[in-house]
Amino acid sequence: MADEIRFDWDEANLEHIARHNVKSEEAEQVLTNEPTDAGFEVVGGENRWASVGHTNKLRILKVFWTVRHEDKVRVITAFDAPREYLREKVGL
């Protein structure tokens, strides 16, 4: 990820991640704290990535994101990384 990431937040994606008890600051931290690539797919013609990483308080989240207007990163969703994923990919 670039050193200076600009994020695209609005009521829709803020409310969505809040349903998973994630704050925007946490999702941003994951994407700026050297996350691990966890996949890529095209949904409705839009490129979407998945990343797993940690917040500054070491909460491990899986974040799905895309790049939209003016090259801003738009978080689609974010939630606690599934334990199965952590065991398989990270060995925890």
Using one digit for the tens of pLDDT, what is the confidence trace for 51-89? Answer: 999 999 999 999 999 998 889 999 999 999 987 766 665
62: burial class by Cβ within 10 Å (0-12, 13-18, 19+)?
Answer: buried
Give the closest residue to 9 by CA, choosing from 27, 34, 32: 27
d(CA 83, CA 75): 21
Q: Write out pLDDT tens, residues 16-50.
A: 999 999 999 999 999 999 998 889 999 999 999 99
> Higher-confidence residue: 14 or 90?
14
How many whole angstroms separate alpha carbon 23 and alpha carbon 9?
A: 11
